[in-house]
Chains A and B, each alone.
Chain A
């Protein structure tokens, strides 16, 4: 457990330090080092759980098992690589005069604040604290969306705040109902909101209240996850904020919201003994997947394009968790990892591409591969990976989802294939002219650090070829935890 406290301590300390010195010339480096320390703490935690199994803290407030430990490690890793990218990127933005020192301080401090909120969401055992941290993540990032103070970014931030605020309020209502159901059976007390207690006694809880609670929880956390039709804030917030923000929103926040939904699903499944929660998730997931794949064809802004791709992938994961069963659940856990790594790599590349071209409009970004081959290849490889080309990891996880669907709901497979095909076409019709195409006059290479991209894509490629034993064990254990069956 001390690893978790170290994790919180490092992030909280970093937040305070950067609130004080976040505008200085070394602030990017400080941010990077805080994230490196957090990654060390996360590795320590992972090693601890690997050796000693699931752990519950003394007061029962924190709980680590194989389901959340790999997400903690993933969060810390993506947080670090994005911070590596953010350092020169934000310095460049400041040189361009888009940022002042005060805003840079806000950015750095809230970067750590957001990471802290993510770690709390993942490690807490208390469903109420989970809600508080999820709302905290909104509050930490909302002022970053309007960091550039353009009319568009202010609008995007307002939309993000109102939609996510109202959405997440539904999740609080769901949490209250959950607490109400638990108190009826377990007595009035402090630990009736603890996930471990709820999970042990799930069979006792009133099914009618639990199903109502799940509807509210799914709508609430689903808003944060960008499920259609609650997704309107997502492309705006991703496209108007600074690019490192888009990378961590897409790579981490969406995953963690899905994590919250799955934790709730486990409780509801235990109480109901039916497939209601799964059916709801399948419906929402499939609609999000198909609608987002269609929207990919109508985008003009490069960051909006990839945020719709995020909605599409979150839809697929929600669908896979909804299908249930060991195969689909394993695939969904795997897809959470591969999507998170690939999407944050893509946003890093997109950030460089937009700085290179001086615009986010896709019709003006041309000839990347000729101007700066690293960025062009990065974007091409990233898109190939996210579209599900073999041998990248996304292919493996999408293939597993397909196989699982064919076993359980064969009549839904054509829809999935249609969505994958649509998304593939939607991505490549836009990306190909940007990567190839004629170089506009006066386009010069920029200083870019692309090794985070290369590292992410290499890991995704490696995962597509073989899953390391310890990761496979975690996925297996998590699958067993979620479904009650071994894959």
Chain B
């Protein structure tokens, strides 16, 4: 089946899925923190666009609410919060060092292939759009983890963490047409509280080690030092 056989909705969702994966890769390669946060905001907008598209075409009005929440939380509030925190902590000019950028990108590519490989048997009887949605969201989750593993800055960890949530949310929207409302509200609440707690932690870590380089958090070990 080729992509032109799909209806316009399917094609648009696939385009958005591709763009969301692209933003994940852009984040992996971005060493400037303010731009990293900006790309994260763009990912939020794309996600909100996919959600409202699904709401309009498939006629699930409750998805409009989740689209609005995604746009408000992930597209605006959290990025603005992060930018302001970076300004206050004087991190806006800081560069995060990227070690082995080429290998990280190659690793990211193999994670995407791996996600498709894992999803293939699962979606054997489902339409192409669902296969891509599950595979792409798994890829975004894994790329978010890769981002957290390769970075040293606490801000980058938060962005990776939130981007993992974005990936999960994409799967929920495209494969299952949104979770039940009570669950979506709960998840949005958790994300909001998590964002606030992250903000509190920035100050605590900054007070404790005078920087946000979490590599310096190395006092605790599994066994006696």
Contact = CB atoms under 8 A, between A and B. Distances in A.
Interface of A: 61, 126, 128-129, 131-133, 135-136, 139, 142-143, 146, 149-152, 154-159, 161-162, 165-166, 169-170, 172-173, 176-177, 179-180, 183-184, 188, 190, 193, 206, 208-209, 212, 232, 235-236, 240, 295, 298-300
A219 B220 CA distance: 24
B168 interface: yes
Nearest to A170: B141
B220 A142 contact: no
A46 to B, nearest CB: 26
B222 A128 contact: no
A129 B179 CA distance: 10
Contacts of B76: none
A165 B214 contact: no
B207 A155 contact: no
Interface string B109-153: 000000000100110111000100010011001000100100000
A152 B197 contact: no
A232 B220 CA distance: 10
A151 B220 CA distance: 10
Contact of A132 (B118, B121, B187): B187
Contact of A156 (B137, B145, B157, B220): B220
B190 interface: yes
Contact of B122 (A193, A212, A236): A212
A133 B222 CA distance: 29
Interface residues of B, number: 52
Contact of A154 (B126, B161, B168, B208): B208
A256 B36 CA distance: 37
26 contacts: A128-B180, A128-B183, A136-B186, A139-B190, A139-B197, A143-B197, A146-B201, A151-B208, A151-B217, A154-B207, A161-B198, A166-B164, A172-B168, A173-B168, A177-B134, A179-B176, A179-B179, A180-B130, A188-B177, A190-B180, A206-B125, A208-B121, A208-B122, A209-B122, A232-B222, A295-B223
Contacts of A212: 118, 122
Given A173-B168, A208-B121, A155 B219 contact: yes
B87 interface: no
Contacts of A132: 183, 186-187, 189-190
Contact of A128 (B171, B186, B223): B186
A84 to B, nearest CB: 29
A256 B222 CA distance: 25
Contact of B179 (A139, A158, A166, A176): A176
A151 B205 CA distance: 8
B193 A152 contact: no
B69 interface: no
A169 B197 CA distance: 17
A188 B172 CA distance: 12
A136 B182 contact: no
Contacts of A61: 182
Contacts of A236: 220
4 tightest Cβ-Cβ pairs between the two chains A and B: A128-B183, A132-B186, A298-B223, A155-B217
Nearest to B206: A154
Nearest to B130: A180
The residue in B130, B134, B154 that gathers the most chain A C-beta atoms within 10 A of its C-beta is B134
Contacts of B217: 151, 154-155, 158-159
Contact of B161 (A162, A172, A184): A162
B183 A129 contact: yes
Nearest to B189: A132
Contacts of A232: 222
